[in-house]
Structure 1
């Protein structure tokens, strides 16, 4: 609008004064009302009569829902007001705290009777998910009396803003109009769980930046600053994780809290509310292909029932929508797919985003923030209604899912039981076992040796029988390969042949044992052995032998417990070494990388400190009373290097990929427990890096931001003894001619046909095109990149005679994403330390284009190139992706800490 209200004029004047005085405007801006485009009372559900006993947002916060973008604190304040006004019909709970200290809450709304029996409801749902513990008649009785339940997830992406305000409207509507016919049906038959904001840190980032850019009035122009977020945007959380991909590895506290609560109540319908491009309409179920084959027909049929009810209400409101075209159900690590594997019917909803208070579409339509809020609100009420109307069917299907999952496991004669031997990577195996327990899977640990399917296993092995209610989740996460439907694959190959973009939405391989690089055996029957039930909270403990050793303590290298010990010891000021090669002391053998902590080089308090670190890290420690080595390098050899506590810098901000930067920083800080200094990338053009020993460049396009000055500055630092580590696309920059830091080159797509070259740039040779296939051949580029890969797991072979791979297994699994394939670096320049396996073995899991297999085979995954007194270490792919490639952590640790120890910096 052209004019401002008196209030907004005062706000602008105050802001101008604050700017003049140098005052931060973030908090002030979020507490003011810049909106002037809403006039009068907007009806979200026209004709509804609301009780005055339930407070509106206007009464609590000073604005109508949809008038402005609510802050996290305002949302919490409003839900607290609702809980105070109607304590017998709404319960409010805290379930987690973000990295930045913000509280995550969920609300439960229902009839007085259902809310009073909330604890009983949870207990009875647990019984329904344990079919072996109740009879079918008991289950039938429970189903006849239990309410159904719908869990509404809002705002997992912090800049997808409308769902949180819609959550507030949903709660108000249900509480303030309990006699509305639709509401009455819902409240009598259903418990409505509302998680109003899954990502408070990301939303706070968005809201602060949005209101700091709004001018005299909100702009509808997509080019305006308020519609273009600065790096890293509000989508991700504090560590810049896309938390909608975190349900598999559960690395973030927000996800961990949510998983625990959902596992407690086991809601029968779960809806994840998102936003999409502003020019779209609204998406709801059914989902697109491919669908994970372990999802069941009844679950998908219930989604169709819900979708049809949504369609009815959207038609009544005159809202456009679409279904089935995008947003598939294949990857099991989304907020809308993970719940299906305990038996829920789950789905994603997407609304066209205004990414602010007002937005003009490409067709000229003006959309207001309240419009997106209303669509999510209507969809939520419609979903709750469908869940209520189909209460008995949904509960029956939920119970049948549990029964069928157990029976399906019993019938599997190939992979009924998964066994984790727990003899190689004890820390990684423990992490995987406890992670599965965190998911709600029953995991057992043998307390005695046993035999299964002809193989013998030691006590301590973990056992997961798929004949359990969460058996299908085990199958989809432990099976090496989950295939997409053939019809879908055929269509993608047809599209590629037509030079059209494929429709694969996300990664196609996610086998947890592969990503964790954990040995896993399979047995086609149940395993009977004395065992204990594994808890998600189980603490890793390994032996500490001879704590009073006279000479030294040894920590065998090769797992994350040893890695955590290393970082803790370095920060505690302990002097320690690491062997470049394996060695033996009599009949005891130690892998390359083994840490050597000599008593004479440390304080007298060392034994007590070692005990403390053993308890904190779970590392295996062996005390020795001699330094006599019978094979391999001795403690005093130059092949047993002194470890140092390096200062680590990491490029941050543009042009890094925020996901790569955040995931990598998280792995180092929260999994390795070691500090990182984030430096804005443009500072690297001139910054004095002499105080740092390691610089990490996450994936990103650095050519423009660093330029020649950045390349020269970083190159000079490396030549003086720095260790530069590049990840994925950052390796492109290091290998570019302008940077000249890495003698590796990306490859074009391989073709047996030689391209024709014209003698005159304005002329080409004459040709005959005799078919449509000939037309497609004629339009091929002479120098195309390989076709991009959505994300597969690939086998990587590892050089066992290089210090950089000490303690790393001969074969590991990495993620391949995109189309970067590098030619091997020449020996005169450096070493290809790890490379992709042969064309017949390169694919570990997922779907990889056939022509990519031979071109990827034997191409480098990890490159080491000396550079003066320092070195460049380059990953051609991302080793920290989503922080769920645990099997690469030791390799990544080596690049940082062994790299720094092997550099020869100028003193």
Structure 2
């Protein structure tokens, strides 16, 4: 690719007549072609073409070649470049970031990290010492590329940026950037997804790239390259830390504490370029100076885009409300965090809606421009950004010591595993969390040992408020505007979920206190876990109380190792202790002589509670040999895979079962489910779907599925997969999906087929009703946490908490089952109480009240279990893990296939 080709700027399809002027501008700025022939670049620094054999934008670079190029840079400039490995992806690809700065700053990297952490804690760093650090430090500036694997341009722009910083000898910004900042580039956060995309793209590539959007080059097959191996959107994983790619990256970011963090993305092909400031709503726990600084970066980027005649937009679409993005999570530690979005070529060239062709090279160039613009802004505002960072921490500590909430106590409770999980999750993100070593009084209540104590007079105060509060409020005017748009059936402006409270996601109690809590605690160290109590040796049985993830993991170990395990459908009392429904019973007589050794190993691995008993006498509830005690089996689990499943839902469910429960899942392409023999599988899971399953299965497929269930299979549906079960033609569940509430009754609706209709008189309310869609779905739910009640009399509710918090993201509403049709095991609360956190339209509240979240029906020898919302979405809802495990393992135990 020639210099003119790369830097020719397209403005709605035409190459500007002033190309020569632009070339001079680029040369004056020190920018050049990917081959850099038109400027003074250090020949000792290897070019991309010299290492990889092509210039930037000419090809899409595979992950291993990205690493190869950065290794070449590090070898050529060892005093200015460091490569740090921070982990490996699920598929074993390297995860790394690159530090680039002056030799002095590279040598002082350890001191820079220490200085940033000193600024983060004003309790130990005086204002005088802070000013010294502010005057001396070269603050980290972090550019993160390629979190979505099919958003391809940013990774190539990372290589271009690194080359320019190391090789340019004319751009006056470069020495200022290298002397004043510590540049950190993460070239690709999701190498598995990137290589999946490139493989698909190159396999479809012909003699020359096609810009036609219906070509195979642009038509990504399921599941696309966006996600990682387990099909997670890594840009939603930052505070829950479920994936290795995110955990390693977040740990590295926290180690350096950059003053600015940018996540570079791609968006739809028909757009331009987006950079900060972000759209409303803003999270109320962001500081005012952070929001003000967004404009500094935006104006620098705008200056360069204006210079080269490039279109862009700001303050639209991409908001700063949800804290789980890469471009938001660092903000709660004082960074100025931002998203940049480039219209995607999704290949080497694409035709936009108006016929303009967008080359891949242009998309790379644009990310390169904003990368340098960001670094320029940090260098020019070094002291301001460092001072703002220090003041962010200082004001956080001050607010935490005098605010309306000054502490949280998470009481020790039945699901202690979830309590400990919360403490470890927060500690891993720089939060000071204590575990009480003895009982104490606080906030007008008594708390037991092992409760968590989190005082807010610490730098992480704002992070804690946004994750621990039951509700993070949106600006009231913004909410009013969304209600107005919704009433007119216009799209709302809520970009992601509106509720994410960690205690609700884990389904545990948390108490907010108006004063600091003084209790004797042991501080939780990141990565540390409590030492488990090992079981004594039993002569009769071992009991494993049900209701925690650790018990699910122990069951998985036991079943995979072939142990004989029973489980009680109902609570029982043994030796004066009450055991919840679902409790596992592992009899000594039914297992091998090394049973105790197995259980000791399981407890070490899972921290499950195991109680050794030397008699089987039960004083209340079912005895160990009761008909209400079922024998657990090791079910083979099949998961529908490929179109028309939602790849997110399929991957998220598989991750929860395989990595959180420790039990294998077999993915089966959907086409095979229509006709192949499923008798080897006891459980089949249908993930959420966008297009529905009924048409894809056809009549024969529905009959095939029903026959499998009747012969003893367990069919589980997630979210919109329940539409198939509730389809009268499938005849799997008697529930039916509802239309939107408050539609005009059909008999009162004028017949649209008549030439003239009777006249009507309308007031405003009648007008709004009369203009509603006749058969509209309920209003969409952007992601709210809803309260639901559990029927503990059914085996699906065994060991499940009496109330659950469900993250609702789909608008489907289903009628309850009648008593003779099955059981509504979990139903949403009444309209006044249903909303636990987030935003829910008033009409949704009324329609969802008392409607089912989880339904179960015995069908023939099998079981049908329907979840009307996805309980495993994003692996967020660990508080729902028990009911998911019940659906799988207890469902299989309650099916009665021919043996």
**How would you bin the TM-score normalised by the shorter chain?**
over 0.9
Deviation string, structure 1 residues 563-593 (Cα, Å, up to 9, x no partner): 1111111111111100110001241111111
Q: Which residue, 254, 265, 270 being the options, matches 1:274?
A: 265
Per the alignment, residue 484 of structure 2 pairs with: 494
Residue equivalent to 2:283: 292
C-alpha contact 2:34 2:160 (8 A) present in aligned 1: no
Aligned-pair CA distance for 1:43: 5.8
TM superposition shift of 1:774? 6.5
**Aligned partners of 1:286 and 1:304 also within 8 Å:** yes
Given the alignment of the two structures, is residue 905 of structure 1 paired with residue 894 of structure 2, yes or no? no
Residue of structure 2 equivalent to 1:419: 409
- Match in the other structure for 1:664: 653
Tell me whether 1:655 sits opposite 2:644 in the alignment: yes
Q: What SS class does the counterpart of residue 807 from structure 1 fall into?
A: coil
Measure how far apart 1:784 and its partner are: 1.9
Question: Contact 2:80/2:101 (CA < 8 Å) preserved in 1?
Answer: yes
Partner of 1:315: 306
Change (3 A) 1:43 1:215: closer
Structure 1 residue 217 corresponds to structure 2 residue 215 = no
Report the Cα offset of residue 754 of structure 1.
2.6
- What residue in structure 1 maps to residue 134 of structure 2? 143
* Distance in 2 (alpha carbons) for counterparts of 1:883 and 1:548: 36
Residue equivalent to 2:25: none
Q: How does 1:452-601 map to 2 (within 5 A)?
A: 452-545=442-535, 547-601=536-590
Q: Is the CA contact 1:541–1:619 (under 8 Å) kept in the aligned structure 2?
A: no
Tell me the residue number matched to 1:609. Answer: 598
**What CA distance in whole angstroms lies between the structure 2 residues aligned with 1:738 and 1:112?**
71
Partner of 1:82: 73
Structure 1 pair 541/564, CA: closer, same or farther in 2 (3 Å)?
A: farther
CA displacement at 1:132 relative to structure 2 = 0.5
CA shift for structure 1 position 765: 2.2
Q: Does the CA contact (< 8 Å) of 2:142 and 2:185 recur in 1?
A: yes
Q: TM-score, normalised by structure 1?
A: 0.94
How far apart, CA to CA, are the structure 2 residues paired with 1:500 and 1:757? 23
Partner of 1:781: helix, strand, or coil? coil
Q: Which residue of 2 aligns with 1:232?
A: 223
Corresponding residue of 2:27: none
Is the alpha carbon distance of 1:268 and 1:769 closer, same or farther for their aligned partners in structure 2, counting shifts above 3 Å?
farther
Counterpart position of 1:639: 628
1:432 has 2:432 as partner: no
> How well do the aligned residues superpose, as a CA RMSD in angstroms?
1.6
- Rounded to whole Å, the distance in 2 between the matches of 1:852 and 1:376 is 41
- C-alpha displacement at 1:775, in angstroms? 5.7
SS at match of 1:488: helix
The answer to whether the aligner puts 1:446 opposite 2:436 as a matched pair is yes
**What CA distance in whole angstroms lies between the structure 2 residues aligned with 1:43 and 1:73?**
20
Rounded Cα–Cα distance in structure 2 between residues aligned with 1:91 and 1:576: 53
Correspondence for 1:118 among 109, 119, 122: 109
Q: Deviations over 1:39-86 (max 9, x none)?
A: xx8369996421101000111110001110000000000000000000
Cα deviation, 1:293-329, whole Å, max 9, x if unaligned, reads: 0011101111110100100011111111000011000
Greater mean deviation of Cα atoms: 611-620 or 750-759: 750-759
Q: C-alpha distance in 2, partners of 1:682/1:515?
A: 34
Q: Give distance in 2, aligned partners of 1:293 and 1:124.
A: 28
The CA distance in 1 between the partners of 2:744 and 2:215, in whole Å, is: 48
CA distance in 1, matches of 2:302, 2:750: 57
- Aligned residue in 1 for 2:753: 761
Q: Distance in 1 between matches of 2:36 and 2:141?
A: 20
Could you report, residue by residue, the CA deviation over 1:880-907 in whole angstroms, capped at 9, with x for unpaired residues?
0100100000000000000000110012
CA shift digits 1:325-369 (9 cap, x unpaired)? 110000000000000000000100000100000111122212111
- Alpha-carbon distance in structure 1 between the residues aligned to 2:730 and 2:646: 19
**Aligned twin of 2:771:** 779
Q: 1:269 to 1:44 in 2, by over 3 A?
A: farther
Q: What's the TM-score, normalizing by structure 2?
A: 0.95
1-side partners of 2:768 and 2:161: how far apart? 52
Question: Is the contact between residue 744 and residue 774 of structure 2 (CA under 8 Å) also seen in structure 1?
Answer: no
Where do 5+ consecutive residues of structure 2 fail to align? 2-31
Change (3 A) 1:43 1:551: closer
Distance across 2 between alignment mates of 1:743 and 1:45: 68
CA distance in 2, matches of 1:374, 1:653: 35
* Alpha-carbon offset, residue 134 of structure 1: 1.3
Give unmatched runs, 5+ long, in structure 1.
Answer: 2-40
Displacement of 1:856 after TM fit? 0.4
Farther-moved stretch of structure 1 (142-151 vs 382-391)? 142-151
CA distance in 2, matches of 1:581, 1:540: 30
1:741 aligns with 2:732: yes
Contact 1:44–1:374 at 8 Å: present in 2 too? no
Aligned to 2:681: 692
- Note if contact 1:155-1:164 (Cα within 8 Å) is conserved in structure 2: yes
Q: Does 1:56 align with 2:71?
A: no
Matched, 1:680 2:672: no
What is the CA distance between 1:520 and its match in structure 2?
1.1
Tell me the secondary structure at the aligned position of residue 619 of structure 2. coil
Whole-angstrom distance in 1 between the partners of 2:474 and 2:679: 51
Q: Is the 8 A contact 1:427 1:540 kept in 2?
A: no
Q: Where in structure 2 are the equivalents of 1:25-64 lying within 5 Å?
A: 42=33, 48-64=39-55
Match of 1:160 in 2: 151
Q: Distance in 1 between matches of 2:34 and 2:162?
A: 15
1:810, 1:770 → 2: CA distance?
46
d(CA) in 1 for partners of 2:46 and 2:515?
59
The structural deviation recorded for 1:771 is 7.6
Aligned mates of 2:438, 2:674 — CA distance in 1? 60
Bigger shift: residues 743-752 or 301-310: 743-752
Q: In structure 2, what is the Cα distance between the partners aligned to 1:45 and 1:385?
A: 21
SS at match of 2:723: helix
> Shift of residue 706 of structure 1?
1.1
Q: Please say if residues 743 and 772 of structure 2, whose CA atoms lie closer than 8 Å, have aligned partners that are also in contact.
A: no
User: Is contact 1:795–1:842 with CA below 8 Å preserved after alignment?
Assistant: yes
The residue matched to 1:871 in structure 2 has which SS?
strand
- Write out per-residue CA displacement over residues 171-195 of structure 1, whole angstroms, 9 at most, x where no aligned residue: 0000001552011221111111000
Q: Distance between the aligned counterparts of 2:132 and 2:441, measured in 1?
A: 41
Structure 1 position 336 matched with structure 2 position 327: yes
C-alpha distance in structure 1 between counterparts of 2:625 and 2:142, whole Å: 61
Is 1:790 aligned to 2:782, yes or no? yes
Q: How does 1:193-208 map to 2 (within 5 A)?
A: 193-208=184-199
Q: Decide which of 872, 876, 881 is 1:889's aligned counterpart.
A: 881
In 2, Cα distance between the equivalents of 1:437 and 1:53? 45
In 2, are the aligned partners of 1:758 and 1:764 still within 8 Å (CA)?
Answer: no
Structure 1 residue 467: deviation in Å?
1.3
Pick the aligned partner of 1:101 from 88, 92, 100: 92
> Residues 544 and 622 of structure 1 are in contact (CA less than 8 Å); yes or no, is this contact kept in structure 2?
no
Distance 2:326 2:807 in 1: 22
Instruction: Note the C-alpha offset of 1:759.
Output: 6.2
SS of residue in 1 equivalent to 2:505? helix
Conservation of the 8 A alpha-carbon contact between 1:450 and 1:456: yes
